[in-house]
Amino acid sequence: QSFKLDLAFDLSLSALLGDNIYNFGELLAHPIIQSLVGTKVEWLYYILEAFNTGDLVRYQQLCHVHQAALSAQPALVQNEKKLLEKVNILCLMEIIFSRPADDRTIPLSVIAERTKLNVEDVEYLLMKSLSVHLIEGIIDQVEGTVYVSWVQPRVLGIPQIKSLRDRLDNWVDKVHTALLSVEAETPDLVAT
């Protein structure tokens, strides 16, 4: 049991601190990571969840509540800035994912508000995300927007799947409305 917990702890730290690791869904779904729950290092599991959902506010709350435990981990203390950048990138990905496919032009101010960064830092965050191929798009500094044409696929959690289902339901409704409109116009076109 102790070996399992140590392994889960080490895997979690490696994922959080690893360069270019931005997908935590598979890790969270693995039974060994579940062994963190109900232990004195349960906070690490919740940090992984916050990263997976790109929830900056939750991450900051966890850091505040578990400050002593976090401070006892030199690797986390030394990489505090890197972790904040990573959770901000994941927050950006969540912002993009939560928007409809036909609404992927995002004001930089919206990203700044959610990530608690200024617009210049948002531009850096976008450039970093573009450079590591987490997103593809174009930054329009004049308009103060970013158009995102692609976001890296990732393992979805239950809330994200529900959101996707709702968006698919809306799309089906739009298609049905378009079909009814075409059917209503068809007799007029055929009759003349």
Residue 182 host element (H or E) = helix 158-191
Quote the percentage of the chain above a pLDDT of 70.
97
pLDDT tens digit string along 116-142?
999 999 999 999 999 999 999 999 999
Compute the distance between CA of residue 55 and CA of residue 53 in angstroms, rounded to an integer: 5
Q: Give Cβ neighbours of residue 189 (< 8 Å, ≥ 6 apart).
A: none
190 or 82: which leads in pLDDT:
82
Q: In this predicted structure, what is the pLDDT of residue 160?
A: 75
pLDDT tens digit string along 29-45?
999 999 999 999 999 99
Pairing of strands 105-107, 135-140: unpaired
Q: Is the pLDDT of residue 47 over 90?
A: yes
Identify whether the C-beta of residue 53 lies closer than 8 Å to the C-beta of residue 17. no
Q: Give pTM, 2 decimals.
A: 0.85
pLDDT tens digit string along 84-113?
999 999 999 999 988 888 899 999 999 999
Q: In this predicted structure, what is the pLDDT of residue 190?
A: 57
Tokens in use for 39?
């232990």
Band (pLDDT 50/70/90 cuts) for residue 156 is: confident
154 or 170: which leads in pLDDT:
170
Band (pLDDT 50/70/90 cuts) for residue 153 is: confident
Identify whether the C-beta of residue 130 lies closer than 8 Å to the C-beta of residue 92. no
Structural domain boundaries in the chain: 2-82
Identify whether the C-beta of residue 4 lies closer than 8 Å to the C-beta of residue 32. yes
Q: Is the pLDDT of residue 164 over 90?
A: no
